[in-house]
DNA sequence: CCACTTAGTGTGCTTTAAACACTATCCATG
DNA sequence: CATGGATAGTGTTTAAAGCACACTAAGTGG
């Protein structure tokens, strides 16, 4: 039990533990991810990267991820779940950093607030996610080529997209991406954005209704066309 | 970029990253887990715990898990996958240690070799896993009460049992727990041990055969009764 | 009032899951 | 060598779930 709090103990080499958070939202039928710009210094000067930071001595990685999410995206109490831990010795060229990656699902209305709530650092920005095949996922801004992310963040993003696609089919995470009241068409649009392909309207609606996860509210959403019934979730638990 | 290799940098507090491996096998129709005994010193002197150790400076957590598996269980080239990262600040009462947990599936024939291959430390031992409900999983030796594991290893074990049960239903991990040639009854027994409940013989056999994952070999397993055809996997990839 | 746009609804077919019981083959024993 | 004991092996029926598929309804704006 001697001197374990110095960097010389072989069990405690100089090593940091960071969290990186893949924050997803769906806006206008498109899956989007929140990215931050790195400072103009090595490594990856000015590159886009996932929001993240070091885990503090008194917090768990879960806490750190929630804190990062609040700081960078300005949202709290959203769906946040551990994704995977990335630990290649050279994933950070400066020194050893192990990254515990998380993914979060944020409704577009909350997300809009978050993206401009940051004052100290450069504002994070929403990028669209392009993921036709299962093996690739890239972030891009409309009309521009995909960006290459810093560190191994492209791999983390890819892993996160695979995860939410797989999870969407058997756990009700689609609801996390919508405001409290929503139309079934909006919910379907979220599913299509996450899955990356269209789904059948009638099958989708009957399956959702049969699941008992949503309840019809008495309000309707008016627009230039036929009004749509607004629904709400029957359970508010994660 | 100054002095990041000392323990004084706030981003690099004294902190260790360890791996813990939940090594499963199935023997005699029972799911078993490999446990090691802790040394007779604080914390948890003499308690049973999952095999594990610190990640070395030049290896990834995946590498470290494979190394631990080779050292403690004496097996290589087995199914090994990351489970979850446990990071509560006080999970190790001595100092901060973040644990990247893995789970491994080992066939009973290989596992038997491993359990006695260790010379330096006390030999690890196989414990049965009792997990009637989804929420609980405990390790015990036949005829004895369940043991309480060191640190948060009971929680890790529980998480691992949930994971393999969920995964068994849609990915072919059952094969990892058997020797190259096996009977369908043996395979069914593995499924039943992992799931914790019996399955229907005819439905199981027809589903397995239709899946195309196994191929009939020309050998049979002889016993005191009707011989059973031996099967093998059609794919040897993880 | 007409054109446009989105909301909303049901049926038939195919596939998959789940329940269920008997015959076949080998060995050991008397 | 006949019998009993133990495990291997095999199909059908029913219910539920997935999937393809096209028209009517209800608003708005010109």
Q: Which fold has domain A174-233?
A: Arc Repressor Mutant, subunit A (1.10.10)
Q: What is the pLDDT of residue B135?
A: 84
For B160-196, what is each residue's pLDDT tens digit?
999 999 999 889 899 999 999 999 999 999 999 999 9
Grade residue A54 by pLDDT with cuts at 50, 70 and 90: very high
Pick the CATH number of B180-233 from 3.40.50.300, 2.60.40.420, 1.10.620.20, 1.10.10.10: 1.10.10.10
The shares of helix, strand and coil residues in chain B, as percent rounded to the nearest 5, are 25, 30, 45
Quick one: DSSP state of residue A46?
A: T
Q: How many residues does chain B have?
A: 238
Cross-chain CB nearest to A6 (options B4, B7, B58)? B7
A72 vs B194: CA distance, rounded Å: 42
Q: Which residues contact B218 (CB under 8 A, 6 or more apart)?
A: none
Contact of B61 with chain A, judged by CB distance below 8 Å, is answered with yes
Domain A16-168: give its CATH architecture. Answer: Alpha-Beta Complex (3.90)
Contact of A113 with chain B, judged by CB distance below 8 Å, is answered with no
**B44 backbone φψ class: left, alpha, beta (φ>0; ψ -120 to 50):** left
Q: Which residue is nearest to nucleotide C10 (CA to C1')?
A: A202
In 10 A of CB B12, how many CB atoms?
23
Backbone dihedral angles phi then psi of residue A176, each to the nearest 5 degrees: -65, -20
Could you check: is the Cβ of residue B225 within 7 Å of any atom of nucleic acid strand C?
yes
Backbone dihedral angles phi then psi of residue B36, each to the nearest 5 degrees: -120, 155
A166: closest CA of chain B, how far (Å): 12
Give the nucleotide with minimal C1' distance to the Cα of B220: D8
Grade residue B59 by pLDDT with cuts at 50, 70 and 90: very high
Q: What is the pLDDT of residue B236?
A: 64
For B29-57, what is each residue's pLDDT tens digit?
999 999 999 999 989 999 999 999 999 99
- What residue ranges do the domains of chain B occupy? 16-168, 180-233
Q: What is the pLDDT of residue A41?
A: 92
Q: Mutate which of B4, B9, B17, B65 to disrupt the A interface (most A C-beta within 10 Å)?
A: B17
Q: Is the pLDDT score of A4 beyond 60?
A: no
3-state class (DSSP) for residue A169:
coil
Nearest of B225, B183, B228 to residue B208 by alpha carbon:
B183
């Amino acid at each position: 039990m001697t001197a374990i709090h110095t960097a010389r103990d072989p069990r405690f080499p100089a090593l940091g533990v960071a969290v990186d958070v893949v924050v997803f939202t769906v806006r206008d039928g498109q899956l989007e991810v929140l990215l931050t710009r790195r400072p103009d210094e090595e490594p990856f000067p000015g590159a886009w990267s996932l929001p993240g930071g070091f885990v503090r001595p008194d917090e768990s990685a879960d806490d750190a991820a929630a804190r990062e999410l609040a700081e960078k995206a300005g949202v709290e109490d959203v769906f946040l779940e551990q994704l995977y831990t990335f630990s290649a010795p050279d994933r950070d060229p400066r020194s050893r950093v192990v990254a515990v990656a998380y993914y979060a699902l944020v409704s577009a209305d909350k997300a809009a607030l978050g993206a401009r709530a940051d004052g100290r650092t450069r504002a994070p920005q929403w990028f669209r996610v392009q993921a036709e095949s299962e093996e690739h996922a890239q972030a891009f801004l409309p009309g521009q080529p995909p960006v290459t992310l810093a560190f191994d963040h492209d791999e983390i993003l890819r892993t996160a997209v695979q995860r939410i696609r797989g999870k969407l089919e058997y756990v009700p995470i689609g609801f996390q991406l919508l405001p409290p009241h929503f139309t079934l068409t909006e919910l379907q649009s979220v599913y299509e954005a996450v899955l990356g392909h269209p789904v059948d309207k009638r099958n989708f609606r009957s399956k959702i209704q049969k699941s008992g996860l949503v309840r019809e509210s008495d309000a309707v959403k008016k627009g230039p066309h036929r009004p749509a019934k607004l629904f709400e979730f029957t359970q508010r638990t994660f």
